[in-house]
Structure 1
């Protein structure tokens, strides 16, 4: 599935939308698995206070860290060659290592937004190879609060973030509405460099927006600090760890 053109686009723009990586029926099954898993967990809402201010009212978000430890379906998905082949091509490495996973569900009509930010601000690394893959398990048009990106922003390197009810870029200088919406269909996967400025809008539609986030890296890229640990961190999704620390 991966080709040189994909890698070039990713290096230039900092993101890549891969259409139809998984089938619609697969996406529907994973959607059901996400909602079933969240129904078994104690409700927790990670919405940033600053996101609610941007939304102009009460919004909600459902999530789950380390999804593969709660459902084998996600353990299979994160090592699926359709995904890991593309991840390896974008990293420029045969080896792909897991950083963490998260399920995000934006409920219908009031799904929380995210102000523009770089993931690098939350878990910086020394070589900046870290990438994200956002699996879409249902359609994500702009009305459902799709991801918005600032193409090419990864070339600026790490940017200063502010702690203002969340850890993100100053909204006055980085308004969400000026970022480019990346609408997606069920089965599409959006890849992002962790240096690419991105966020997402409010889900104002009548259907939830359901995604799985997989953060991955070259195993030779070390964390710059002891932050954002997860239960699955360090798992090899493809290849080997050529220089294990253990």
Structure 2
């Protein structure tokens, strides 16, 4: 659980890094599970077209949507009170609902970056309660392409995005290098509001960067558009759904 000062930091800055939410041993096991899931899946590279403009080197990315339907390990993680209690504290409600999950793996030496963007551009909601937890399963210094954030940017509301190449903010106005790197260690979890501007750099290290993302919201916060439906969307991760029909 986080204390009131941590909640205040999140509300002021739009993000919060929770150190040691998982043990390093647990992170190692989840890392192995991520790589096993990806090894069983067909290839495919979801690198944004706009990301190709951030580096002269050809980069790659591996990912998996709805990871809990590929491995029971991630279903257990979604219900882990160490995660859901923090999510509830940051939402300010005892009830936490799932939006979607993803595994991201940036391969060694050529892991793709993400230009600065707001997740809200992809799936806007009426009350803007949506947030993500990014679980780090290996150490993630800046050279591994760690997440970069623009503190306080959530207070500007939803910003105009460029649709071409992946729903990103204008590259000349929002250079990736202007954002603050959030370096993390295996077992840390980064909580970030979906209005907070963020991105990530290229993994230039000799090791993969492996993360699991769980996007969550308060029940009853309805999407503005019928987009980004995922298997399991609306599943209650903590508490109960006080708004009939909000799980869809």
**TM-score, scaled relative to structure 2:** 0.98
Residues 54-98 of structure 1 deviation map (CA, whole Å, 9 limit, x = unaligned):
122210000000000010000000110000000000000000000
The equivalent residue for 2:23 is: 23
Q: Which runs of 5+ in 2 are unaligned?
A: none
Q: CA RMSD in A?
A: 0.7
For 1:186 and 1:147, the matched residues in 2 are separated by 14
> Over residues 76-133 of structure 1, what are the superposed CA-to-partner deviations in whole Å (9 max), with x where a residue is unaligned?
0011000000000000000000000000000000000000000000000000000000
Alignment of 1:144-159 (within 5 A): 144-159=144-159
- State the SS of the aligned residue for 2:54: helix
The alignment partner of 1:167 has SS state of: coil
**Could you tell me how far apart the structure 1 residues matched to 2:56 and 2:10 are?**
34
- Per the alignment, residue 198 of structure 1 pairs with 198
Aligned partner of 2:168 in structure 1 is 168
* Corresponding position of 2:133: 133
Task: State the SS of the aligned residue for 1:60.
Answer: coil
CA distance in 2, matches of 1:186, 1:111: 18
Q: Which runs of 5+ in 1 are unaligned?
A: none
Per the alignment, residue 236 of structure 1 pairs with: 236
Other structure's SS at 1:17 match: strand
Question: Residue 219 of structure 1 aligns with which residue?
Answer: 219
Distance 2:166 2:56 in 1: 16
Offset of 1:23 from its aligned partner?
Answer: 0.1
Task: Tell me, yes or no, if structure 1 residue 78 matches structure 2 residue 65.
Answer: no
TM-superposed deviation, 1:42: 0.5
Which residue of 2 is the match for residue 124 of structure 1?
124
Q: 2-side partners of 1:56 and 1:173: how far apart?
A: 20
Provide the residue aligned with 1:91 in structure 2. 91
Aligned to 1:38: 38
* Partner residue in 2 for 1:106: 106
Deviation at 1:243, TM superposition (A): 1.0
Provide the aligned length of Structure 1 versus Structure 2. 246
Runs of 4 or more, structure 1, over 3 Å off, are none
Aligned counterparts of 1:129 and 1:6: Cα–Cα separation in 2: 17
Q: How big is each residue's C-alpha offset from its partner over 1:24-72, in whole Å with a ceiling of 9 and x where there is no partner?
A: 0000000000000100000111001110111222100000000000100
Measure how far apart 1:225 and its partner are.
0.8
Q: TM-score, normalised by structure 1?
A: 0.99
